[in-house]
Structures are given as C-alpha cells and as structure tokens.
Amino acid sequence: MGDSITLTDDRTGATVTVPLEADNTIPSSALRALDPGLRVYDPAFVSTASCASQITYVDGQRGVLRYRGYPIEQLAEQSTYLEVAYLLIHGELPTADQLDAWRQDVTIHTYVHENVKHFMQQFHHDAHPMGILVSTVAALSTFYPDAKLIFDAEVRHKQIVRLIAKMPTLAAFAHRFSVGMPFVYPDNDLDYATNFLSMMWRVGSPCYEGDPVLARALDVLFILHADHEQNCSTTAMRSVGSSHADPYSATAAAAAALYGPLHGGANEAVIRMLDHIGTVEAVPAFLEGVKRGEGRLMGFGHRVYKHYDPRARIVKQTADEVFAAVGTNPLLEVALALEEAALSDDYFVERQLYPNVDFYSGLIYQAMGFPLEMFTVLFAIPRTAGWMAHWVELLGDPDQRIARPRQRYVGSSERTYAPAGQRAKGGDGGDTLPPPATARPRRD
Ligand code: CMC
C-alpha cells in the first residue's frame, strides 16, 4: 500500500501507476498515458484542480481559511485591507516602508479620467450599479492601451495599482449616478475604506467625518472578501487572463461572474429573502418550502466549506460592532432564527449546509445605509486584490496555457441540409433549455 493510484484500461490491459501529490491530486497526464483520447467528465469542475496556487488555502472540512499562510482571523483582527492586498499580490506582508509606498501608490491613483465620469453618466437612470461597474471596468482598458503589455513587470504593476485604487471610485460613482447625486472626487487624505465612504455619502461639507467604527468594519469586510481561491469569478479572471487579454477586460469578466446570485449576488439575495420571510414565525414554513425545492436558502451552503465558513463567524462579530454603533438591523432576529432552525434541521445537516460569508454581510451593509444594489459592488471592490494576485500567478505559471476545456459531444450525428420549405416542423422556436425539474436555481 503506497501513496499512488494504479489505473487499468480494461480494453487493452494497459496500466499506469501515478504517485499521489500531497494534496490528494493526480495529474491528468496519467489518463493520457493510458489513452491520449481519454477525457474526464467533470461539469462545474467539482473534482478538477485547474492550477497550483500559493495564494489562498481553504480547508472546507475544518472551516480553515488562510491568505499566504496567515489565518483569516489574525488578518481580520490586526491587518488592513491594503496590507492584505499587498500580501496577496506580492506573497509577503510588506515592511513599514513598503506599506507606506504601496499605500501612497494606491492613493495617488484613485482619480479616474474625466471621460470615465462622462461615460458613466450615459447609463439608464435605474441601471444596476453592478452592471455599471462591470461595463466601466471593461471600458478602462480603452483608457490604458499600454495595459496590453502584460509581460512588462512595470506596466503590469501600474494596472494592478490602478485597478485596486479606482474600484472604490467607480463603485461610489455608480451609486451616486443611480441616486442622481453629483460625483464626489476621492480625498487622498483619507484611508482606503474611509475614502470610499466619503465618495458614497458626502453631501455639501468639504470633508467627510464618518464614524471610524464603520470604516474599520468595512475594512474588515474587505479583508474577508479579498480572496477565496478558485471560485467562479477568479476562474473567469484566470480563464480570460489565459488568453493574454489586458487586466481590465479580464477583471470585467471576473466582476460579471461575481454578479450572479449564486456567487457575489448572494448577499443581496439574502436580504430580499429575509424581507420576504418577514417574521420569526414565518421561518419554519419558509424552510419547508426550501426543502420542497421552492427556492434556496440564500447565504447557506458552499462548494468547498462543509463546515461553518470562518468568514461568516467574523462577519457575525463585526455585525455586533456595527449594530452597537448604528442600531440593530430589524431583520437580524429573522436571520438568527433562520440560522438556528436550519442548523438543527436534517435536510441542511445531511447536506452540510452552513451559513457562508454572505449570510450576515448584507445585514451589516444595510445597517450602514448601503442600498441593496450596492452589496455585490461591495464584494467586487476587495475581491479585485484576489483577482490581481491570481492573474499574476497565472502569467508566471509555466504549466498554464490558454484555458480550453474539452466537451462530450452528445448532439446529432451527421445529417443533410434541406431547404426551409422541405423541412419537417422543427422545435417550438424557443431555446434548447429543458424546463427545470423544480423551481430551484441551477447549481453554479
Ligand atoms: N439551500 C437549499 N439547498 C441547498 C443549498 C441552499 N442554499 N445549497 C445547496 N443545497 C442543496 C442542493 O439542492 C443539493 O441537494 P440535493 O443533493 O438533494 O440535490 C445539495 O445541497 C448540494 O448542493 P449543490 O448545488 O450540489 O452545491 P454546489 O456546491 O453546487 O453549490 C452553492 C454551492 C454556494 C452555489 C449553493 O450552496 C447555493 O446555491 N447557495 C446559495 C447561494 C449562496 O449563498 N451563494 C454564496 C456562496 S459563498 C460566497 C461566494 O462564493 O460568492
């Protein structure tokens, strides 16, 4: 008995023995050694490691999350978002001098070209801020054509700084536009989170005087959302990045992936769900509906965590601090009752469904005054650091090539074209998506 796996092709009797990597992984080249045409069918990449990464470690069974080896609990308590962004991208925590230089670099890149502002003002008055953000990040590539030089270290660094610096500006502008308020320019005397709050909320007064408790809470949430290894949006970042597109285009793709309700859109969906439930008394009936397949318990479940998401625990503590400063969110008691009921219900226990990072974060955002539509934008701002870290890692990884999965073709065999008048009736004119078996959203 060794740490290897032997595969036998019963058609030919050929065998191949492959050593297991320390993380329980075998290379797909083992299959190709048996038969170059052999494929693994793995929809949604449930058992596929698409890269080797040194950035973030997640142990879903034990509820462990570390960035570059540092436990998330320590970073959330002692670090800042900008320091964590540096850690994710550069691999090490910065020295005091490096941190000062990094902070300064990000701070002086927070402004956007005036034409970006004009561009943003052309959206429809009720455009979702996430749609505005995705489009505007893509548009940034037209402002920085040198960004195409992705193998020039200096140019690459400049775009990384620009993206981290400008995300809060674009996010706040998207909000101000949607409520018809004039844009507030960045204030370079403020720290990252406070500057964002200033651009969001400042009205009239020349400088922003917000509550530092809220700024710190937001910074902690930014730390918690900064990276989460190969999730849907990071996979999009890597996929588009693998074609050597510029980082603005790839980041726009990643942000688009984040927009969906099964990913970053879940924090918004949680509040809509809690609103819909309305009262503690209505919780049992809602859970019964979920179990009948009438919808999902948003903010619950995770592809990797089969235990309490460690970020959810920290978010819950942060919620207490925010509620002490601004008053409790009335939906909190519904959320607590829902969590308690779900965690003692066999359906959720058997499927190992626990609260994830999105379950309580929306309650904090709402208590802080953010409109629902901004919640996913609040996720996109900090996740930019993770996307950048993975993009750099991808470009430097000699094992990586353009992302190009294979498929199992299960369509028609060859048929002969007939002119329109000679064809039997085709489909009903709709698309080819079969009706869903239940009302449940499709799995991500
Ligand atoms: N509510 C009810 N049932 C669920 C849920 C849920 N939230 N999540 C999973 N299940 C059930 C699912 O129906 C399936 O049951 P069965 O085996 O009877 O078919 C089983 O649990 C396994 O689910 P899955 O769909 O195979 O799990 P997945 O790994 O494909 O999906 C997920 C992960 C996060 C998309 C899913 O748990 C979900 O939709 N959760 C709600 C949305 C959400 O909170 N998303 C935020 C994720 S964390 C932050 C982020 O990544 O953005």
pLDDT at 182: 95
pLDDT at 1: 58
Q: What is the pLDDT of residues 311-340, one digit of tens each?
A: 999 999 999 999 999 999 889 999 999 999
Residue 128 is among the residues annotated as catalytic for this protein? no
72 contact partners, CB below 8 Å, separation of at least 6: 65, 66, 223, 224, 310, 311, 314
Fold of 59-398: Citrate Synthase; domain 1 (1.10.580)
Q: Which residues line ligand 1 (CB under 6 A)?
A: 231, 262-264, 266, 290, 296-303, 351, 353, 356-358, 443-444
What gap in Å lies between CA 174 and CA 123, rounded to an integer? 10
Residue nearest to atom 28 of ligand 1 (CA): 303
Nearest to 380 by CA among 239, 237, 241: 237
Q: What distance in angstroms lies between residue 354's CA and the mean position of ligand 1's atoms?
A: 10
What gap in Å lies between CA 235 and CA 382, rounded to an integer? 16
Contact criterion met (CB below 8 Å) for 198 and 208: yes
Residue 146 is among the residues annotated as catalytic for this protein? no
Give pLDDT < 70 ranges for the chain.
1-2, 427-428, 434-444
* Tokens at 341, concatenated: 């009921």
Report which ligand 1 atom has the smallest distance to the Cα of 441: 39
What gap in Å lies between CA 386 and CA 67, rounded to an integer? 10
Residue nearest to atom 26 of ligand 1 (CA): 443
What gap in Å lies between CA 40 and CA 28, rounded to an integer? 8
Q: What is the pLDDT of residues 264-286, one digit of tens each?
A: 988 989 999 999 999 999 999 99
Q: What distance in angstroms lies between residue 260's CA and the mean position of ligand 1's atoms?
A: 13
pLDDT at 435: 59
Report which ligand 1 atom has the smallest distance to the Cα of 290: 2
Site to probe by mutation for ligand 1, drawn from 235, 287, 300 as the one with most ligand atoms within 8 Å of Cβ, is 300
Residue in the structure block whose two tokens are 């793709």: 253
Beta bridge partners of 67: 56, 70
pLDDT at 22: 82
DSSP letters spanning 397-425: -TT-----------S--------GGGPPP
* Tokens at 258, concatenated: 């984040």
Q: What distance in angstroms lies between residue 443's CA and the mean position of ligand 1's atoms?
A: 7
Q: What distance in angstroms lies between residue 107's CA and the mean position of ligand 1's atoms?
A: 38
Residue nearest to atom 39 of ligand 1 (CA): 262
Report which ligand 1 atom has the smallest distance to the Cα of 44: 30
pLDDT at 438: 44
Beta bridge partners of 70: 67
Residue nearest to atom 8 of ligand 1 (CA): 301
What gap in Å lies between CA 236 and CA 137, rounded to an integer? 15
- Hey, what amino acid is at 261? P
What gap in Å lies between CA 33 and CA 332, rounded to an integer? 56
* Lateral strand order in the sheet of 64-67: 56-59, 64-67, 70-71
Residue in the structure block whose two tokens are 């038969």: 35
Residue in 246, 302, 309, 390 annotated catalytic: 302
Asked whether the CA dihedral 152, 155, 160, 161 is positive or negative, the reply is positive
Q: Which 3 state secondary structure label does DSSP give 55?
A: coil
* Radius of gyration of the chain measured on its C-alpha atoms: 24
Burial of 250 (0-12, 13-18, 19+ CB in 10 A): buried
Contact criterion met (CB below 8 Å) for 144 and 248: yes
pLDDT at 307: 85
Q: What distance in angstroms lies between residue 267's CA and the mean position of ligand 1's atoms?
A: 14
Residue 219 is among the residues annotated as catalytic for this protein? no
Site to probe by mutation for ligand 1, drawn from 353, 359, 377, 442 as the one with most ligand atoms within 8 Å of Cβ, is 353
Chain centroid, CA 27 distance in Å: 27
Burial of 422 (0-12, 13-18, 19+ CB in 10 A): exposed
Report which ligand 1 atom has the smallest distance to the Cα of 270: 44
Alpha helices in 144-231, H assignment, sequence order: 153-178, 192-201, 212-224
What gap in Å lies between CA 81 and CA 173, rounded to an integer? 21
* pTM passes above 0.75: yes
What gap in Å lies between CA 439 and CA 444, rounded to an integer? 15
Residue nearest to atom 25 of ligand 1 (CA): 443
Residue in 90, 157, 263, 307 annotated catalytic: 263
* Tokens at 73, concatenated: 């609990």
**Where does the chain hold its CATH 1.10.580.10 domain(s)?**
59-398
* Buried residues in 253-273 as b, exposed as e (16+ CB within 10 A): bbbbbbbbbbbbbbbbbbbeb
Burial of 312 (0-12, 13-18, 19+ CB in 10 A): buried
